[in-house]
Amino acid sequence: MLSVITLSRNLLPTIPFDEGYTPLFGDNNLIIHKDGKMVHLSLDERTGSGFVSHDLYLHGYFSASIKLPADYTAGVVVAFYMSNGDMYQKNHDEIDFEFLGNIRGKDWRIQTNVYGNGSTNIGREERFGLWFDPAEDIHQYSILWTDSQIIFYIDNVPIREVKRTESMGGDFPSKPMTLYATIWDASDWATNGGKYKVNYKYAPYIAEFYDLVLHGCAVDPIEHVAKCDNAPSSKVIPSGVTPVQRIKMDNFRKKHMTYSYCYDKIRYKAPPSECVINPKEAERLRKYDPVTFGNGRRHHGKHHHHGSGSQEEAASF
């Protein structure tokens, strides 16, 4: 098995925009550069923007190198995610990277989420800070999705692993999905639970996407039959977390994780069945936010939940 550390951008084929994707919304706020190798998505007072893959996929490795907008970005959300919400409105699946903007002087935060079969009432969010400024340069964000696990990577370092358990049942994403990239106004929840809104005096907010990788099992949209291609390049796809990567993942989580649903005592009296409780993570989060991760009691307010592409319970961190 090849270590993900050696999985460079060049090993997997990237495809020009028009071969793999189509604009989703935003008209002129989506601009394609460099023969389709770079895409700019922008948000202004008129609209956000986004694109979507031509094909549906059942499992695979999906990646983009992204540079986020700089300066005041409160209320702005950039999302790189998989969903089938247009096909399964009541029981859709989703795997999300969401980048949550912030006020000037505060860093972007990153949120990951996974759910299946329309289980939006559960929500499996984890939130992290980063060890770099994602508005300063491009960084690679990747999703590995198999029938038994989902792994999120940043610059080839795994940051989160979701293993399928029997008890999850249909809550593990298991239907074909398309890949999306969007930028949009989430003033009502994205920054401190909606306290800070998008300020269009700083618009346009531009997110840059490069090195788009769609390496999965394409599925016929009518027949829903997977056309799996076991080309040689699939050998460079990671098949799990190696011991070296696990050390890197543990270090990342120790330094940068600020929220995990598994430890949220307000939402859950007992952790959901798939959670593997790490006592060190539990203790660190409890010190970070004793109300949410400690006794689970507070006097006012409640968690809110949102629809596709905005799965965050609006906690104030």
Show contacts of 102-109: CB within 8 Å, 24+ apart: 102/73, 102/74, 102/191, 102/196, 103/72, 103/74, 103/191, 103/196, 104/71, 104/72, 107/133, 108/68, 108/73, 108/133, 108/134, 108/135, 109/258, 109/317
Bridge partners (DSSP) of residue 206 are 42
Catalytic hit among 19, 94, 126, 312: 94
Q: Quick check: is 126 catalytic? A: no
Side-chain half-sphere exposure of 174, counting CA atoms within 13 A: 13
84-129 per-position pLDDT tens digit: 999 998 899 999 999 999 999 999 999 999 988 887 777 899 999 9
The CATH number of the domain holding residue 127 is 2.60.120.200
Distance CA 297, CA 166 (A): 31
pLDDT at site 110: 97
pLDDT at site 5: 35
Q: Taking the CB of residue 186, how many other CB atoms lie within 10 A of it? A: 25
Query: Is residue 2 included in any domain, yes or no?
Result: no
By the 10 Å C-beta count (0-12 exposed, 13-18 middle, 19+ buried), 202 is classed as: middle
Query: Is residue 159 included in any domain, yes or no?
Result: yes
SS3 307: coil
Q: What is the 3-state secondary structure (H, E, C) of 147-199?
A: CCEEEEEECCEEEEEEECCHHHHHHCCCCCEEEEEEEEECCCCCCHHHCCCCC
Q: What is the pLDDT along the chain (317 residues), one digit of tens a residue?
A: 333 333 444 468 888 999 999 999 999 999 999 888 999 999 999 999 999 999 999 999 999 999 999 999 999 999 999 999 999 988 999 999 999 999 999 999 999 999 888 877 778 999 999 999 999 999 999 999 999 999 999 999 999 999 999 988 889 999 999 999 999 999 999 999 999 999 999 999 999 999 999 999 999 777 767 766 544 445 567 778 999 999 999 999 999 999 999 999 999 999 998 899 999 999 999 999 999 999 766 544 444 334 444 333 333 32
> If you search the block for the tokens 């027949």, which residue do you land on?
223
Query: Is residue 261 included in any domain, yes or no?
Result: yes
Q: Give the number of domains in the chain.
A: 1
Catalytic hit among 19, 98, 125, 223: 98
Range of the domain at 116: 17-288
Q: Quick check: is 223 catalytic? A: no
Distance CA 128, CA 113 (A): 12
Query: Is residue 180 included in any domain, yes or no?
Result: yes
Q: What does pTM read for this prediction?
A: 0.88
pLDDT at site 228: 67
Query: Is residue 25 included in any domain, yes or no?
Result: yes
Query: Is residue 301 included in any domain, yes or no?
Result: no
